[in-house]
Amino acid sequence: MASGSMVYGIHIDTLDNPGWSIRISLQDTRRQDSVLERKSIERTENDWIQYWIEKQKFHVACGPLNLSEAVEIFVRWCESE
């Protein structure tokens, strides 16, 4: 990959608090110019989700048991409008 290239695809990483981090590239999709301020769902210490768009990427951070819910939030957002 050339220096400065855009990275496409989906990246899922673990967080050390614990939890999950997801980054989904929106470049070259119909949603690439979308804007989404940070949204938070705070239930308990381990049951939470935050999601936002930054630099043509949909970002999600969530608690250890919220991975499937985080993916559902992205799918619902992507299919909206």
Tens-digit pLDDT profile for residues 16-74: 989 999 999 999 999 999 999 999 999 999 999 999 999 999 999 999 999 999 999 99
Find where tokens 């608090």 sit: 17
In a domain, residue 15? The reply is yes
Predicted TM-score of the model (pTM): 0.87
CA 3, CA 59: separation in Å to the nearest integer? Answer: 22
| 61 φψ region: left (φ > 0), alpha (ψ -120 to 50), beta (else) | beta
In a domain, residue 3? The reply is no
User: Is a pLDDT exceeding 80 seen at residue 1?
Assistant: no
Structural domains of the chain, count: 1
**Residue 9 to residues 20, 29, 32, Cα–Cα distance (Å):** 16, 11, 13
In a domain, residue 23? The reply is yes
In a domain, residue 5? The reply is no
With contact defined as beta carbons under 8 Å apart, do 10 and 24 qualify? yes
In a domain, residue 2? The reply is no
Q: Which of 62, 55, 65 is nearest to 24 (CA)?
A: 55
In a domain, residue 67? The reply is yes
Q: Which domain holds residue 75?
A: 10-79
